[in-house]
Structure 1
Amino acid sequence: MNQPVPTLYEWLGGIEALNRLTTRFYERVRDDAILAPIFAHMSDEHPQHVAVFLAEVLGGPTEYSAIHGGHAHMIQQHLNRHLEQAQRRQWVALLLDTADELQMPEDPEFRSALVGYLEWGSRLAVLNSKSGATVDAHAPMPKWGWGEVKGPYLQ
């Protein structure tokens, strides 16, 4: 009997694992010379919000969309922040380093999918942080999986 393929969310350990990841990551951000200034006024709830967002993107519950308004809300958080590529690269590198520190799944298939989303999402954040960027209020939430992707720019 074939077992159903788990979502990326299930594979990494669900919301508990994502909360550990984002909590530890943002602790490290506070000490990072490149990232600390960007997140200097981060709320205490920020790591949990990011965990819930990642959960939805990776195939978990749709709580972020239900509570915060989905992908449009996330894009809105980046408007006019003028993020640079060096900041984006450091954000991705530190998040992946934190995943290693917490011994999240290391199999190539999972890490490839995770890196794929982090690269795509962080590059989108940089684009949406530039002057003049706007939010499509109806942009669907991206859905990342094992080699297949569905998102507002990927149809």
Structure 2
Amino acid sequence: MNPNQSLYDNLGGAEGLHRLVEVFYSKVQLHPQLSPLFPEDITPVLEKQYQFLSQFFGGPALFSQEHGHPMMRARHMHIPISPERAEEWLDCMKQALEETGVAEPLRSVVLSRLSGPAHHFVNMPQE
């Protein structure tokens, strides 16, 4: 991990982030608790996730340019997100980071950075 570069650049820029998002959603789509939360055609979700993570990790502000202010909690309020689902989401991301070859300490930094938003989106009690 190069501390002088953004997380976006450390993850390999556009190419690395696209690969991470693709591997991540392949895990989400197979997850019994998470897959029902997503549409059958996952393509638009992949693109929005890529746009958001690009911006969130210090790359181009693609999400805001196309969709306005992220307001991610409000955008996720219609999805039932429990603390368990937040953890399952993070576990899928951990697996994707490992599978795409993201090494420590970058892997832990990325998961730590995503942990706050993942838990911020929780909108229902424990299951």
Same fold (TM over 0.5): yes
Q: Percent identity among equivalent residues?
A: 27
Equivalent residue for 1:18? 17
Equivalent residue for 2:88? 90
SS of the aligned residue for 1:30 comes to helix
Query: Does residue 76 of structure 1 match 2:113?
Result: no
Equivalent residue for 2:97? 99
For the pair shown, the structure with the greater C-alpha radius of gyration is 1
- Whole-Å separation in 1 of the counterparts to 2:79 and 2:3: 41
- Whole-Å separation in 2 of the counterparts to 1:26 and 1:8: 20
Equivalent residue for 1:136? none
User: What root-mean-square deviation, in Å, do the aligned CA atoms of Structure 1 and Structure 2 show?
Assistant: 1.9
Question: Is the CA contact 2:9–2:59 (under 8 Å) kept in the aligned structure 1?
Answer: yes
Question: Is the CA contact 1:23–1:48 (under 8 Å) kept in the aligned structure 2?
Answer: no
- Whole-Å separation in 2 of the counterparts to 1:80 and 1:47: 18
Q: Number of matched residues?
A: 123
Q: Please give the TM-score of this superposition, normalised by the length of structure 2.
A: 0.86
SS of the aligned residue for 1:71 comes to coil
Q: Which has the higher helix share?
A: 2
Structure 1 residues without counterparts, runs of 5 or longer? 131-155
Structure 2 residues without counterparts, runs of 5 or longer? none
Query: Does residue 36 of structure 1 match 2:32?
Result: no
Q: Please give the TM-score of this superposition, normalised by the length of structure 1.
A: 0.71
What is the letter of the counterpart of residue 120 of structure 2?
L
